[in-house]
């Protein structure tokens, strides 16, 4: 056999052997992947079943909220509607909001940064840009435009920071505040930081908050129904206040107004917020020629904080000046 043909034959045999080897390798690789995938699937299934036997967060929420649904139903709300709302995946229990609401009177809030040059200039620019509208508000409600702007700046940075908490979740969480199992867990979380607060003191606060939150929750349902808003899209502070004016639902129902004549009351809208703040103060007794002392009394109804009150009035003076 010529050397060239012998080499060609040898090359062909080598190539066949190589191809056979590759086929075997692919076969065993596929087989290995199959068994590995099977092992993972079985293991994952076992873990899933094990987790499924543990109480889940939705189950806990249902246990907490079931008495609340019954109570709301007894107060005239449609049970089917309530069950639909409370089964929504956006329903959460806000442990942080609960803790803050129970200890907020022991927390110190610093408002001094609202009096710095940057904040004052922002307020002045806002007033200048909306001067025509604010003059009308001042004339109609007899509330100084500088006071309205000051409140909006302090409450929400003129609508830029209105809060990210779902207000519904804030109030449903607070409605459960007095439940023993909830209260114990909450108390354990901050008793070291606030050792002067006894469990009994926290229980009293929780009972008071729960009653208050229930009334606010009912107002919130009314707002969502009246304004045709998805209740879960109403977002605000840990206290449940929302919009640029940071109204609680009860304040919204009583004082909020349509400022831009679009047949809606949306406190994320600056015009609705400006007239609503002015209306709030007017309805609580604000009028022309009030003494500084009387102004402080009325602003306290908006926010029960002496530093807050002082800051509103100082900022108003700086804006005017």
Residues 143 and 225 in one domain: yes
| Percentage of the chain lying above the pLDDT 70 cut | 81
Residue 224 resides in a domain: yes
Residue 64 resides in a domain: no
Residues 121 and 27 in one domain: no
Residue 77 resides in a domain: no
Residues 96 and 46 in one domain: no
Residue 81 resides in a domain: no
Residue 83 resides in a domain: no
State the residue range of the domain holding 223.
92-320
Residues 143 and 1 in one domain: no
Q: What's the total number of domains in the chain?
A: 2
Residues 50 and 135 in one domain: no
Phi, psi of 225 (to 5 degrees): -70, -45
Instruction: Give pLDDT tens digits for 32-75.
Output: 444 434 333 333 333 333 333 333 466 778 888 999 999 999 99
* Cα distance between residue 159 and residue 269, in whole Å: 8
pLDDT at 28: 45
For the residues 282-296, what does the mean pLDDT come to?
97
Residue 308 resides in a domain: yes
Lowest mean pLDDT among 19-33, 43-57, 82-96, 197-211: 43-57
Residue 169 resides in a domain: yes
Instruction: Give pLDDT tens digits for 64-75.
Output: 899 999 999 999
Residues 172 and 233 in one domain: yes
Alpha helices in the chain (DSSP H): 3-52, 57-74, 79-86, 95-103, 117-129, 131-141, 145-156, 167-175, 180-190, 199-227, 249-255, 270-283, 292-302, 306-320
Residues 126 and 230 in one domain: yes
Contact 149, 127 (CB under 8 A): yes
* Cα distance between residue 4 and residue 320, in whole Å: 105
Residues 171 and 289 in one domain: yes
Q: Which structure tokens are listed for 131?
A: 């001067």
């Amino acid at each position: 056999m010529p050397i060239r043909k012998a080499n060609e034959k040898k090359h062909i045999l080598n190539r066949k052997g190589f191809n056979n080897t590759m086929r075997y390798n692919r076969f065993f690789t596929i087989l290995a992947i199959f068994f590995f995938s099977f092992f993972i699937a079985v293991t994952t299934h076992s873990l899933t079943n094990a987790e499924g036997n543990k109480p889940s967060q939705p189950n806990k929420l249902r246990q907490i909220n079931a008495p609340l649904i019954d109570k709301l139903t007894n107060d005239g709300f449609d049970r089917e509607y309530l069950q639909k709302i409370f089964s929504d995946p956006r329903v959460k229990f806000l442990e942080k909001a609960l803790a803050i609401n129970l200890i907020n009177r022991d927390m110190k809030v610093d408002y001094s940064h609202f009096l710095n040059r940057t904040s004052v200039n922002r307020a002045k620019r806002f007033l200048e840009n909306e001067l025509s509208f604010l003059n009308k508000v001042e004339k109609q409600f007899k509330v100084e435009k500088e006071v309205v702007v000051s409140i909006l700046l302090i409450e929400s940075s003129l609508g830029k920071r209105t809060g990210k908490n779902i207000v519904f979740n804030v109030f449903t969480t607070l409605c459960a505040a007095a439940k023993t199992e909830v209260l114990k867990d909450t108390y354990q979380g901050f008793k070291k930081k606030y050792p002067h607060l006894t469990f009994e003191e926290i229980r009293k606060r929780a009972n008071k908050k729960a009653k208050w939150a229930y009334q606010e929750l009912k107002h919130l349902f009314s707002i969502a129904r009246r304004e045709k808003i998805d209740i879960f899209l109403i977002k605000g502070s840990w206290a449940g206040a929302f919009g640029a004016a940071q109204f609680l639902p009860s304040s919204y129902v009583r004082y909020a107004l349509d400022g831009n004549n679009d047949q809606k009351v949306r406190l994320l809208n600056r015009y609705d917020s400006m007239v609503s703040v002015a209306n709030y103060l007017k309805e609580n007794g604000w009028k022309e020629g009030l003494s500084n002392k009387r102004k402080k009394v009325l602003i306290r109804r908006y926010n029960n904080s002496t530093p807050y009150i002082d800051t509103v009035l100082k900022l108003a003076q700086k804006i005017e000046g």
